[in-house]
Amino acid sequence: MFLSSGIVLFLALLGTFIIPSLAVDEDEDGSYALHHSCDQDYPRARYALNEAIRMARIAATEMGRGLSPPLLNTYKLIFEQSNVESGPSERFLFDKVRKTFKEVSRLYQDDWAHAEIKIYCDDRRWSPEVGQVLDPRDFPNNVIPDDLLNPRRDPDLQRWVDLQTGEHRVGVLPCKSGLPDFHDWRSTWQFDNPDAVTFTWCGPNWHDIRHRTIELDLMFANLSDVDMDHITIYYLSHAFLIMILLAPRFHLRGREHGWFRNIGLVVEEAVETAPPHALFAALCLLDRMDIGLHSNAVLRVAGKLERRNPIQFTHPFPPPLAQPLPPNLPQV
């Protein structure tokens, strides 16, 4: 009898401590999905998205086990800290950044209908809004005024509707407005999930989708012309990581781009912006490739990169960078 009571008490205590922790972990999980048109027209986009999440996973791992001296110096440079261990505010920032990376790394791929973060790759989801049917006989000279016909309105006044989600928009569509990067929307149709958001990555405006992932492109590349501005401008995985970090769940809404704009941030501003996080994650990935910021102080602040152990090729030409796409795209 005493043994049975003890088992019941043990199970009750176990549920008290374990079940809430599981609930917290479950709350932290989020999901993402690329629209099916992305795989059709931009198959390498999924590679970039996978690399974006992998960069966050590497950053969380490195911060969890203690940053190496090169990465610690990089962290201080990006987040403007004199000493990570010098006080509670610095430690709080360090833990906050690590927690953000950990949450990103926990994102899993879900089906389109249920994903929290939905990513489109162009403007095709928008259709001209169909208004009331007008009869030309009701107007002078049997001509309907242009301002009443949606397709003939000024571009800033044209109305659009997403037939899948019911979202409405007035004005020029994101990708047709010349945005080279991406545009974000708060979802208006998933009221039960405050973290739900849709993004449009403007694939037609991107620099060159033939650019490979950072890891594949730079593994054997000559780094003389590569710096952090090159990383932030030409690699989609960096842009995708910023996009993910701008989801409501991460509470980071900054839009600044480029290496120099990040250097001047104070600690409080760095916490509130996404690009420094994406920049540090990219450098954590490069560190795994034995690439880091230049050892020369001037070149380091300028964002120049160097390979710590230069590659010694045993044949006259380096291996080709281009590799054919496998039939099945990798999953995170």
Select the more confidently predicted residue: 74 or 313.
74
Predicted structure pTM score: 0.76
Tens digits of residue pLDDT in 44-64:
899 999 999 999 999 999 999
Q: Evaluate whether residue 236 is within a structural domain.
A: yes
Let me know how many helices (H) and strands (E) the chain has, helices first.
Answer: 12, 10
Q: What is the pLDDT of residue 331?
A: 43
b/e burial code for range 39-60 (CB count within 10 A of at least 16 → b) = eeebebbbbbbbbbbbbbbbbb
CATH code assigned at 46: 3.40.390
Q: Evaluate whether residue 275 is within a structural domain.
A: yes
Tens digits of residue pLDDT in 131-179:
655 555 655 666 555 555 545 666 667 778 877 777 777 777 878 777 6
Q: In this structure, what is the dihedral angle of CA atoms 207, 212, 213, 215, given to the nearest 10 degrees?
A: -130
Q: What is the pLDDT of residue 46?
A: 93
Residues forming a β-bridge with 292: 306
Q: Evaluate whether residue 150 is within a structural domain.
A: yes
Looking at the structure of the chain, the number of domains it has is 2
Question: If you average pLDDT over residues 227-231, what whole number do you get?
Answer: 91
Q: How confident is the model at residue 329 (pLDDT cuts 50, 70, 90)?
A: very low
State the residue range of the domain holding 166.
Answer: 124-172
- φ/ψ of 301, rounded to 5, equals -65, -30
Question: How many whole angstroms separate alpha carbon 103 and alpha carbon 84?
Answer: 21
Q: Evaluate whether residue 286 is within a structural domain.
A: yes
Is residue 282 pLDDT above 90, yes or no? yes
Percent of the chain past pLDDT 90, that is, above it, reads 30
The verdict on 133 and 111 lying in the same domain is: no
Question: If you average pLDDT over residues 90-118, what whole number do you get?
Answer: 92
Tens digits of residue pLDDT in 171-211:
778 787 776 677 777 665 555 677 888 888 988 888 877 77
The verdict on 36 and 157 lying in the same domain is: no
